[in-house]
């Protein structure tokens, strides 16, 4: 065993509005040889996710803000290259939350060994078979209480959660699934690849108008990844007894203005609507149920996915910024070469 | 049996913004003698309620809008003065939805006989022992899932629903109940008569600041009668897992401007909050449970109430307008002399 030099991407300053390269810095870290109980992991894929923007600010949230000078924590998958922990031998594939780095070393308890399944790329553990897929599943089932025959609207539908949610909704018996996305290419993909019954480009015309046209009978469930005008449009379209799972609000993440709330909250009273915000942390007890369902669907070829892959740890910030700008289709990942 | 001349208050035109006397007119109606199956009722008390403002507009709602030239429908209680229906003899006390009139005549099925209980004024059937009290009960229990030990915030706390909700919350084990109202007299009444632990005048300073000061540890449940800045303040104060029952939004009922939605909807995601709108119609199955509980509390002297009574059918519109302006404490009623 030996020392190792790792590259970590750290928060250099807190972004105001849209983050820039200047808010981050690359640091070389020298690890001594692993102490008893530690492992050293070379990452293969790193996840960049919308929720990370929230942690870059100092405000109260469900997880602590990143500290200046701290490596950006988040999901990653890699392979153990040195081990001083019996339970995790060299060669093991591990998921962890150590985030934006090429090599990371720490206590074995921080790393979760996942089985290598032939034909299953490691990367899907960071999205459709991992937290992203489970977020979509939990949002539709436990949060929004989707029922067979429901009409479902999903915003940010071409993103990692959205592409999963559309397919899961159909597999669970939704009668009609409608999605919104930010380019014509993405819109085409939604109906051609992801089983959406209808989709629109939110940049073409007001969401309210486009959603009303796509759902003339209204919607029963809304899966919100966007917030803002999308949530407002959904509050107009939701039928009596309708339910919304609020998963993300990317439209406002980089705004420095006062967010404009929906002008039609009163619909919630007259139609008995329910809005429920959630983060996956409150639903981890559903992991076995999700894994069983998703493994079944996946093995039967019923799940499509896309990855937008940026190569090289040095391009992690590019990947994050591109993802915030909507440059990805499906899951945005960094492949650590 | 004979003819009768009745005074009915009807909608003359749809209000834009705040209603005025000009939106209503008084009509004399001549009833022939009751036909078989009909009863004639002389009202004793008429209810004027915030939700009626919604029905004066033409927009989609949970009940049909009032039509121009139609008597304003709503809750009333009176006594049968002529009867051609065996099941409802003369002298019976009946609740009905025929609304703003001194005398009304119709099918017996439209009238519900209620027992006269010594010491129980008829008027309370229109509020604390009726729909208003049940709205407060259902909102706290079935909708907001209030638990023992919760801190509860109630807006419009000095109104008919609010005075009931504060007391019920305490009786159900809330550890701390906070209320907002629009005058210092009402605020004093909340803590002195209605068992609120803290109360503030929303006109004194921003609701956000006053609520934060009154609930330094945050709130668990919000019962919303007001909407607007109150809902926004509650979304800041709600603790992780907090729930809000949206019952009314009187702050926006008479606005002709675009309603300003909460600027902090994103809190719903980070804290896993739940907002649920409701109208009593979806919870009528809880009427026996409510009646049992409320009768018990009432008979043990655990329930206080106020009535603001306007005398004379000709002042019904005054009573309605005063209620919309917050001139009432507790339930606003018209006593038909």
Q: What is the mean pLDDT of each run of 10 residues along chain A (337 residues)?
A: 92 94 97 97 96 85 84 97 97 97 97 90 94 96 98 95 97 98 96 97 97 98 95 97 93 74 92 96 95 93 94 97 90 94
**Cβ–Cβ gap B269/A246 under 8 Å:** yes
Which run of H or E residues covers position A29?
A: strand A24-31
Predicted local confidence at residue A148, as pLDDT: 98
Backbone phi, then psi, for A238, in 5-degree steps? -65, 130
- Do A222 and A245 form a contact (C-beta atoms < 8 A)? yes
For residues B221-243, average pLDDT: 96
Give the number of other Cβ atoms within 10 Å of residue B263's Cβ: 16
CA distance B70 to B54: 15
Q: How far off is chain A from B337, nearest CA to CA, in Å?
A: 34
Residue to test with chain B: of A161, A246, A258, most B Cβ within 10 A:
A246
- Please indicate, yes or no, whether residues A117 and A231 belong to a single structural domain of this protein: no
At a CB cut-off of 8 Å and minimum separation 6, what does A135 contact?
A161, A164, A247, A280
With b for 16 or more beta-carbon neighbours within 10 A and e for fewer, the A147-174 pattern comes to eeebbbbbbbbbbbbbbbbbbbbbbbeb
Q: Which of A80, A65, A114, A46 is nearest to A333 (CA)?
A: A46
Predicted local confidence at residue A179, as pLDDT: 98
Give yes or no for B271 touching A (CB within 8 A): yes
Predicted local confidence at residue B164, as pLDDT: 96
Which range of A113-122, B164-173, B291-300 scores highest in mean pLDDT? It is B164-173
Q: How many residues are given for chain A?
A: 337
Predicted local confidence at residue A192, as pLDDT: 97
* B187, B191, B197, B203: CA torsion to nearest 10: 0
pLDDT tens digit string along A97-143?
A: 999 999 999 999 999 999 998 888 999 999 999 999 999 999 999 99
Residue to test with chain B: of A62, A266, A282, most B Cβ within 10 A:
A266
Report if residue B293 sits inside a domain: no
B93-96/B112-113 β-pairing: antiparallel
Report if residue B56 sits inside a domain: yes
- Do B199 and B180 form a contact (C-beta atoms < 8 A)? yes
What share of chain B has pLDDT > 90, as a percent?
Answer: 86
B219-224/A103-107 β-pairing: unpaired
B49 to each of B10, B46, B305, B315, B321, how far by Cα in Å?
Answer: 15, 10, 16, 15, 10
Give yes or no for A275 touching B (CB within 8 A): yes
Predicted local confidence at residue A60, as pLDDT: 58
CA distance A307 to A123: 9
Shortest CB distance from B261 goes to which of A261, A271, A276?
A261
- Please indicate, yes or no, whether residues A49 and A77 belong to a single structural domain of this protein: yes
Give yes or no for B217 touching A (CB within 8 A): no
For residues B30-35, average pLDDT: 96
For residues B274-294, average pLDDT: 95
Predicted confidence (pLDDT) at residue B329 exceeds the cutoff of 90: no
What band does B60 get if pLDDT is binned at 50, 70 and 90?
A: low
- Please indicate, yes or no, whether residues A44 and A123 belong to a single structural domain of this protein: yes
A257 CB burial (10 A radius; 0-12, 13-18, 19+) = exposed
Angle, alpha carbons A163-A316-A186 (nearest 5°): 25
Give yes or no for B256 touching A (CB within 8 A): no
Predicted local confidence at residue A82, as pLDDT: 97
With b for 16 or more beta-carbon neighbours within 10 A and e for fewer, the B44-72 pattern comes to bbbbbbbbbbbbbeeeebbeebbeeeebb
- Please indicate, yes or no, whether residues B104 and B137 belong to a single structural domain of this protein: no
Left (φ > 0), alpha (ψ -120 to 50) or beta: where does B157 sit? alpha
Predicted local confidence at residue A227, as pLDDT: 93
Report if residue A192 sits inside a domain: yes
- Do B23 and B12 form a contact (C-beta atoms < 8 A)? yes
Residue B325 corresponds to which tokens in the numbers above?
């302006």
- Do A271 and A241 form a contact (C-beta atoms < 8 A)? yes
- Do A3 and A30 form a contact (C-beta atoms < 8 A)? yes
What band does B54 get if pLDDT is binned at 50, 70 and 90?
A: confident
Show which of residues 152-171 on chain A sit within 8 Å of chain B, judged by CB atoms: none
Report if residue B287 sits inside a domain: no
A282 interaction partners in chain B (CB closer than 8 Å)? 241, 272
- Please indicate, yes or no, whether residues A123 and A150 belong to a single structural domain of this protein: no
Report if residue A287 sits inside a domain: no
At a CB cut-off of 8 Å and minimum separation 6, what does A277 contact?
A246, B267, B268, B269, B270, B271, B272, B273, B274
CA distance A231 to A190: 20
**Cβ–Cβ gap B269/A261 under 8 Å:** no
* A247, A202, A54, A237: CA torsion to nearest 10: -40
- Please indicate, yes or no, whether residues A167 and A116 belong to a single structural domain of this protein: no
Q: How far off is chain B from A244, nearest CA to CA, in Å?
A: 10
Backbone phi, then psi, for B222, in 5-degree steps? -125, 130
**Cβ–Cβ gap A61/B270 under 8 Å:** yes
A238-246/A274-277 β-pairing: parallel
Question: What is the radius of gyration, based on Cα positions, of chain B?
Answer: 20
Q: How far off is chain A from B281, nearest CA to CA, in Å?
A: 10
Q: How far off is chain A from B34, nearest CA to CA, in Å?
A: 36
Predicted local confidence at residue B62, as pLDDT: 64
Which CATH number fits the domain that encloses residue A56?
3.90.180.10
Which CATH number fits the domain that encloses residue B211?
3.40.50.720
Report if residue B297 sits inside a domain: no
User: Where do the DSSP E strands lie in B216-314?
Assistant: 219-224, 238-246, 274-277, 307-311
CA distance B227 to B76: 27
What band does B13 get if pLDDT is binned at 50, 70 and 90?
A: very high
- Please indicate, yes or no, whether residues A141 and A99 belong to a single structural domain of this protein: no
Shortest CB distance from B246 goes to which of A60, A260, A268?
A268
Report if residue B155 sits inside a domain: yes
Contacts for B30-33: CB closer than 8 Å, 24+ residues apart? B30/B3, B30/B4, B30/B5, B30/B6, B31/B3, B31/B4, B31/B5, B31/B6, B31/B103, B31/B105, B32/B3, B33/B1, B33/B2, B33/B3, B33/B82, B33/B84
Find the domain containing B223 and state its range.
131-281
Size of interface A-B (CB pairs under 8 A): 113
Would you report the helix, strand and coil content of chain B in percent, each value rounded to 5? 30, 30, 40
What is the total count of domains within chain B?
A: 2
- Please indicate, yes or no, whether residues B77 and B190 belong to a single structural domain of this protein: no
Predicted local confidence at residue B61, as pLDDT: 60
Predicted local confidence at residue B63, as pLDDT: 72
- Please indicate, yes or no, whether residues A106 and A162 belong to a single structural domain of this protein: no
Give yes or no for A282 touching B (CB within 8 A): yes
| Nearest C-alpha in A relative to B282 | A272
For residues B208-234, average pLDDT: 97
pLDDT tens digit string along B97-133?
A: 999 999 999 999 999 999 998 888 999 999 999 999 9
Predicted local confidence at residue A335, as pLDDT: 98
DSSP class per residue in A147-161:
-TT-EEEESSTTBHH
Report if residue B289 sits inside a domain: no
Question: What is the radius of gyration, based on Cα positions, of chain A?
Answer: 20
- Please indicate, yes or no, whether residues A142 and A277 belong to a single structural domain of this protein: yes
- Please indicate, yes or no, whether residues B123 and B222 belong to a single structural domain of this protein: no
- Please indicate, yes or no, whether residues A144 and A224 belong to a single structural domain of this protein: yes
- Do B190 and B158 form a contact (C-beta atoms < 8 A)? yes
């Amino acid at each position: 065993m030996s020392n190792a030099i790792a590259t970590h991407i750290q928060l250099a300053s807190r972004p105001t509005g849209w983050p820039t390269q200047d808010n981050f810095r690359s640091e070389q870290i020298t690890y001594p040889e692993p102490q008893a109980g530690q492992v050293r992991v070379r990452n293969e894929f790193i996840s960049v996710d919308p929720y990370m923007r929230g942690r870059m600010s100092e405000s109260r949230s469900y997880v602590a803000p990143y500290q200046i000078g701290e490596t950006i924590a988040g999901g990653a998958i890699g392979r153990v290259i040195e081990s001083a922990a019996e339970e995790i031998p060299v060669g093991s594939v591990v998921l962890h939350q150590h985030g934006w780095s090429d090599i990371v070393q720490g206590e074995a308890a921080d790393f979760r060994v996942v089985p290598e399944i032939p034909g299953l790329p490691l990367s899907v553990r960071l999205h459709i078979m991992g937290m992203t897929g489970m977020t979509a599943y939990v949002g539709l089932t436990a949060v929004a209480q989707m029922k067979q025959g429901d009409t479902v609207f999903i915003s940010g539908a071409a993103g990692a959660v959205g592409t999963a949610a559309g397919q899961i909704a159909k597999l669970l018996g939704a009668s009609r699934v409608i999605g919104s996305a930010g380019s014509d290419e993405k819109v085409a993909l939604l109906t051609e690849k992801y089983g959406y019954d209808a989709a629109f480009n939110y940049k073409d015309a007001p969401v309210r108008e486009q959603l009303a046209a796509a759902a003339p009978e209204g919607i029963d469930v809304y899966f919100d990844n966007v917030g803002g005008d999308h949530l407002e449009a959904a509050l107009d379209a939701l039928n009596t007894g309708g339910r919304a799972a609020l998963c993300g609000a990317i439209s406002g993440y980089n705004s420095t203005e006062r967010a404009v709330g929906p002008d039609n909250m009163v619909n919630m009273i007259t139609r008995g609507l329910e809005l429920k915000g959630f983060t996956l942390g409150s639903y981890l007890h559903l992991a076995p149920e999700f894994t069983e369902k998703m493994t079944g669907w996946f093995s039967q070829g019923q799940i499509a996915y896309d990855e937008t892959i940026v190569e090289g740890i040095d391009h992690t910030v590019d990947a994050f910024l591109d993802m915030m700008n909507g440059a990805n289709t499906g899951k945005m990942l960094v492949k650590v070469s």
